């Protein structure tokens, strides 16, 4: 998909982080941009900033974990711009702890946003991407945690592995159908975002169990990791290049690739899993 100018992009999780960087990058390409997020005030601020920069932008408060909310996003997109060409299912949250101790509410929250958000996005937007018969593209945000496994992060890791598998399945289906719609899966390394502060987007009235030692450990590790992470703008550059090249895997540029290769080698040889996290900054 070479020509982006004048086309419409939808980005979830667009109020901050990778989503906001994507929205800005698409706007710089001359695209019309629909920003979706559950955080109302940051979403309005992002919309205003894009409009001030001359981007034709529209903000729609969206809870991607709810199918009806994503359906409403799709309807609003058509009302505003008439068609859609790029959809970035990007919204994501994090929760961790020992896999058998993670509260069921945490599992439901993470899978609701990270996995069901992508499913809802595909179900609502794939028919629209096919409707106009032009080139189009889907970008699903996973993580390098979708290609490797880490202790104390089961909900997040499970959700991201599922997004990679779902995206690969979609790629095969679109290829077999000779569809003009491309698909990419974004698997970033540590990125300087607010993923470690995901709790800000949960129901303030929901009961919270005391933080366990494992939850504290992974929270602190995540905070350190993203503090030294790459800029979200670098992810946006990779995504735009992948859309233009119709490239499926959009991967980290560091030792995370080596970790993923080691895992694949363990599977091929039937070896027990190893935990060899990449070096910081690797």
Catalytic residues: 156
Distance CA 63, CA 75 (A): 15
Residue with the two structure tokens 């970033």: 188
Those residues with Cβ within 8 angstroms of residue 177's Cβ, 6 or more apart along the chain or in another chain: none
Distance CA 30, CA 259 (A): 37
User: 142-162 burial by CB neighbour count: b if 16+ within 10 A, else e?
Assistant: bbbbbbbbbebbbbbbbbbbb
Q: In whole angstroms, how far apart are CA 216 and each of 111, 153, 211, 276?
A: 21, 11, 6, 21
In terms of residues, how long is the chain?
A: 282
């Amino acid at each position: 998909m070479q020509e982006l100018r004048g086309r419409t992009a939808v980005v979830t999780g667009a109020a901050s982080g990778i989503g906001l960087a994507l929205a800005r990058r698409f706007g710089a390409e001359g695209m019309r941009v629909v920003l979706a997020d559950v955080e109302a005030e940051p979403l309005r601020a992002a919309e205003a900033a894009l409009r001030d920069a001359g981007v034709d932008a529209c903000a729609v408060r969206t809870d991607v974990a709810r199918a009806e909310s994503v359906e409403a996003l799709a309807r609003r997109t058509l009302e505003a711009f008439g068609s859609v060409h790029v959809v970035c299912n990007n919204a994501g949250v994090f929760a961790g702890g020992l896999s058998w101790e993670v509260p069921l509410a945490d599992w439901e929250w993470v899978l609701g946003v990270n996995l069901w958000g992508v499913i809802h996005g595909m179900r609502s937007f794939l028919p629209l991407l096919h409707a106009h018969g032009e080139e189009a593209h889907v970008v699903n945000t996973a993580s390098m945690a979708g290609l490797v496994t880490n202790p104390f992060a089961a909900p997040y890791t499970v959700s991201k592995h599922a997004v990679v598998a779902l995206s690969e399945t979609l790629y095969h289906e679109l290829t077999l159908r000779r569809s003009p719609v491309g698909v990419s899966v974004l698997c970033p390394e540590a990125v300087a975002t607010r993923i470690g502060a995901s709790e800000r987007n949960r129901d303030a009235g929901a009961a919270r169990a005391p933080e366990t030692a494992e939850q504290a450990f992974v929270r602190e590790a995540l905070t350190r990791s993203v503090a030294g992470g790459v800029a979200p703008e670098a992810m946006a550059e990779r995504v735009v290049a992948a859309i233009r090249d119709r490239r499926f895997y959009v991967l980290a540029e560091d030792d995370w690739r080596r970790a993923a290769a080691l895992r694949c080698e363990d599977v091929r040889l039937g070896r027990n899993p190893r935990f060899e996290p990449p070096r910081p900054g690797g």
